[in-house]
């Protein structure tokens, strides 16, 4: 199967095209320090061509979940080093997803601090999950233009820390209604000035972050994830194809290792084809995600529509997913009740094939 064949992604030599999608699992400490349990979980999945580690906060005050990891303290770097060592010991490759939660960072999770966003528009189609329970999202504070270089610096520092932690590269999280995506899509960005209005302006923060991260890692170890159609976190854009094309062109011009496309909408409200324009405009490795079976992934790769597929819930529940695909074996069923809960249950206890 082509899905199981090797692939060069920038500077990385992947053993197959079955990648672990980034999955927030909330198994770090309350100080956002990665744990030995996380090292075990990721090492279990090291047979994926690339492990894309979960959304990881670039700074204090940017938490949108409880006990998700960060990459801004010495302890967090040391915790991640245990994870990368464990994956490397199994012959795997691992990149870190660099993330700022933007308006999804509820004040209850961040010492009372009001979240920041391109515009003072809150998330209304969901609730924030905090230790106090499910609560309405805050209306965020609109960032001033003169604060944005500081955000870029935080991403750069986090990229440097990821290097210290032994990762093989980084993925910039530009998806799912978090800070960079909020700037990109016009449903959340109503700014005037250099970071609002045109697609070019709305993409500026994302592009500046990519350039800062490239300055640390080199373009051949940097990827970007976007989700132009996803309405999760109250997101929408008037022209998803146009933003896809623009971002793909920018990534292509910079020689980015990969572009990681979420092809659809978690909530099924927005539809369209963003994969074809991404393929047309981006010359590097194109990774697709969302709802793929092995058969569909294989057919899409064989047709030249994409190069690799990131598997989320199926890889979460099947630590040996590439081997199962090779054997055409049955798949374990994911236990959604344990996606974000503490401890090993529904995390490290999914069985491998017998």
Task: Quickly count: other Cβ atoms within 10 Å of residue 29's Cβ.
Answer: 14
Q: Rounded to the nearest whole angstrom, what is the least distance from the CB of residue 194 to ligand FMN in the complex?
A: 27
Q: Rounded to the nearest whole angstrom, what is the least distance from the CB of residue 321 to ligand FMN in the complex?
A: 10
Q: Rounded to the nearest whole angstrom, what is the least distance from the CB of residue 312 to ligand FMN in the complex?
A: 3
Going by C-alpha positions, the residue among 19, 2, 15 that lies closest to residue 288 is: 19
C-alpha distances out from residue 178 to 60, 62, 126, 267, Å: 15, 10, 14, 16
Q: What are phi and psi of 55, to 5 degrees?
A: -50, 125
Residues lying near ligand FMN in the complex (CB under 6 A): 21-24, 54-55, 97, 173, 175-176, 225, 262, 289-292, 311-314, 339
Which CB, 66 or 339, lies closer to ligand FMN? 339
Which CB, 84 or 227, lies closer to ligand FMN? 227
Which CB, 20 or 46, lies closer to ligand FMN? 20
Which residues, at least 6 apart from 57, have a Cβ–Cβ distance to it below 8 Å?
A: 32, 63, 68, 69, 70, 71, 72, 99, 100, 101
Q: Which helix (H) or strand (E) holds 204?
A: helix 199-217
Active site residue 178: yes
Q: Rounded to the nearest whole angstrom, what is the least distance from the CB of residue 91 to ligand FMN in the complex?
A: 23
Q: Which of 41, 42, 178, 340 is catalytic?
A: 178
Residue nearest to ligand FMN (CB): 312
C-alpha distances out from residue 256 to 229, 237, 270, 285, Å: 22, 24, 28, 8
3-state secondary structure of 8: strand
DSSP string over 170-201: EEEEE-TTSHHHHHHSTTT----STTSSSHHH
Q: Rounded to the nearest whole angstrom, what is the least distance from the CB of residue 137 to ligand FMN in the complex?
A: 18
Give the residue carrying structure tokens 């515009």: 119
Which CB, 75 or 336, lies closer to ligand FMN? 336
Q: Rounded to the nearest whole angstrom, what is the least distance from the CB of residue 334 to ligand FMN in the complex?
A: 8
Which residues, at least 6 apart from 274, have a Cβ–Cβ distance to it below 8 Å?
A: 228, 229, 240, 241, 244, 261, 263
Which CB, 172 or 216, lies closer to ligand FMN? 172
Q: Rounded to the nearest whole angstrom, what is the least distance from the CB of residue 173 to ligand FMN in the complex?
A: 6
Which CB, 173 or 279, lies closer to ligand FMN? 173
> How far, in Å, CA of 84 to CA of 67, rounded?
19
Q: Are 345 and 338 in contact (CB under 8 A)?
A: yes
Joined together, the tokens standing for residue 41 give 């979980």
Q: What are phi and psi of 75, to 5 degrees?
A: -65, -40
Give the residue carrying structure tokens 């805050």: 138
Which CB, 5 or 293, lies closer to ligand FMN? 293
Q: Active-site residue numbers?
A: 178
């Amino acid at each position: 199967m082509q899905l199981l064949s090797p692939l060069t992604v920038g500077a990385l030599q992947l053993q197959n095209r079955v990648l672990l999608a980034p999955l927030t699992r909330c198994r770090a400490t309350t100080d956002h320090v990665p744990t030995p349990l996380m090292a075990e979980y990721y090492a279990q999945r090291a047979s994926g061509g690339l492990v894309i580690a979960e959304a990881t906060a670039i700074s204090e005050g940017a938490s949108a979940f409880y006990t998700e990891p960060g990459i801004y303290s010495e302890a967090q770097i040391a915790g991640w080093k245990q994870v990368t060592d464990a994956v490397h010991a199994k012959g795997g490759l691992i990149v870190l997803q660099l993330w700022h939660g933007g308006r999804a960072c509820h004040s209850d999770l961040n010492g009372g601090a009001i979240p920041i966003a391109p515009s003072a528009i809150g998330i209304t189609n969901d609730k924030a999950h905090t230790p106090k329970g499910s609560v309405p999202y805050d209306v965020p504070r609109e960032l001033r233009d003169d604060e944005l270089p500081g955000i870029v610096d935080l991403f750069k520092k986090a990229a440097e820390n990821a290097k210290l932690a032994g990762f093989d590269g980084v993925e910039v999280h530009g998806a799912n209604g978090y800070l960079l995506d909020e700037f990109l899509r016009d449903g959340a960005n109503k700014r005037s000035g250099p970071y609002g209005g045109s697609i070019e302006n709305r993409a500026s923060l994302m592009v500046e972050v990519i350039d800062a991260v490239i300055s640390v890692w080199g373009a051949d170890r940097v990827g970007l994830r976007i989700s132009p159609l996803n309405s999760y976190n109250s997101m929408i854009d008037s022209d998803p194809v146009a933003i896809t094309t623009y971002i793909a062109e920018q990534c292509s011009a910079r020689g980015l290792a990969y572009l990681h496309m979420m092809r659809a909408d978690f909530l099924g409200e927005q539809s369209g084809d963003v994969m074809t324009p991404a393929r047309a405009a981006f010359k590097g490795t194109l990774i697709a995600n969302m709802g793929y079976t092995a058969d569909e992934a294989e057919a899409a790769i064989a047709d030249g529509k994409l190069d690799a597929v990131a598997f989320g819930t199926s890889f979460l529940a099947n630590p040996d997913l590439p081997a199962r695909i090779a054997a055409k074996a049955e798949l374990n069923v994911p236990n959604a009740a344990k996606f974000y809960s503490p401890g090993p249950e529904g995390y490290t206890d999914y069985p491998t094939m017998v």
